[in-house]
Amino acid sequence: MDRRTACLHQANAFREKAIADPEHHDQWIDEAIKWLEQAMEASCRAAITVEADDTHHVRAAATDTFASHPRVITRQ
């Protein structure tokens, strides 16, 4: 599971806690918002690493991958 998905799961868990615990609703919603913000940050940060010895081969593979899956994140 990638970081963005994990953060979204956490946000959902806190949202469910807010529904189940009206007395602490605001506290759980605040936590859910923090996790949603982290999910947004995680979806904005991505990097591709390239091994110095294998540069040509890796670039070709990355190009093929992005052509068929435009939203693939290789490393977070």
For 6-29, write each residue's pLDDT tens digit. 999 999 999 999 999 999 999 999
The total number of structural domains that make up the chain: 2
Residue 67 and residue 31 share a domain: no
Residue 24 and residue 7 share a domain: yes
For 26-63, write each residue's pLDDT tens digit. 999 999 999 999 999 988 865 555 555 544 554 444 44
Domain span holding position 5: 1-45
Q: What integer pLDDT is reported at residue 70 of this predicted model?
A: 46
Confidence of residue 1 (pLDDT cuts 50, 70, 90): confident
Indicate yes or no: pTM above 0.85. no
Residue 39 and residue 4 share a domain: yes
Residue 38 and residue 57 share a domain: no
DSSP output for 7-71: HHHHHHHHHHHHHH-GGGHHHHHHHHHHHHHHHHHHHH--B----GGGHHHHHHHHHHHHHH-TT
Q: What integer pLDDT is reported at residue 6 of this predicted model?
A: 94
